[in-house]
Amino acid sequence: MDTRFFAAWLDEAARLVRRDRERLTRLDAAIGDADHGTNLDRGFTEVAKALADRPPGSPGQVLTEAGTALIRRVGGASGPLYGSMFRQMGRTLEAPVTLARFEAAFEEGVVALERLGKAALGDKTMVDALVPASRSLALAVRDGIGALEAFRLAADAAAEGARETIPLQARKGRASYLGERSVGHEDPGAASAALIMRALTDVADRDQAEGRWSD
């Protein structure tokens, strides 16, 4: 996993967010400000521009630059939250990047996000997708699973975590003001987190198909 791989991950995340922008906004319209898709699309577009204008020299720098761009350009809570996660990952990630080092950095990033948002599993936030993904990666490292399969499992765990927010009552963020009316809706932050994890898998799968991947 080199610098190019991490830049490609964020480019693919931008593409998936752009593709699902209206869905994310519809989810947010039900329990939030109806701007999650629009804000994230703008933010990840800025990430791509920042990485193109100032090509980073390491995987950690890719993530740090991405986090800074998201904090600066995304409105609402999602910019600072995702930005803090990526910046912490960038500060923590050691090279050369192995699955174990990626997992450790990812866990640190999720912890930073949880700390900033003061949210926990079950609060109906992006944490409900990111914590299962983090735990899945940790289990993969423990069990000696290769990175490709580990990413697939983590993406599946994030998607399942997002779906499991539907019956929850929100305890954090604007959705919490709705009380019981937040039940029955998928959390938009969890949905976007699942997209970001899916992007990681898509890039790894594409690299494997092109003969660039070394597990």
Task: Give the count of domains, the chain.
Answer: 1
70 part of a folded domain = yes
CATH number, position 11 = 1.25.40.340
99 part of a folded domain = yes
173 part of a folded domain = yes
Residue type, 189: G
Residue type, 5: F
215 part of a folded domain = no
The single residue listed with the structure tokens 């995702």 is: 82
93 part of a folded domain = yes
Other CB atoms within a 10 A radius of the CB of residue 211 amount to 7
One digit per residue, the tens of pLDDT, for the chain of length 215 reads 899 999 999 999 999 999 999 999 998 888 777 788 899 999 999 998 889 888 899 999 999 999 999 998 887 788 899 999 999 999 999 889 999 999 999 999 999 999 998 998 989 899 999 999 999 999 999 999 999 999 999 999 999 999 999 998 787 776 666 677 778 889 999 999 999 999 999 999 998 877 776 65
214 part of a folded domain = no
What's the domain range around 36?
3-209
CA-based end-to-end distance of the chain: 9
88 part of a folded domain = yes
Closest by CA position to 197, among listed 147, 146, 158, 139: 158
Whole-angstrom Cα Rg for the chain: 16
Tokens matching residue 2: 């080199």
DSSP assignments along 131-187, one per residue:
HHHHHHHHHHHHHT--HHHHHHHHHHHHHHHHHTTTTPPP-SSGGGGGGGGGTTS--
195 part of a folded domain = yes
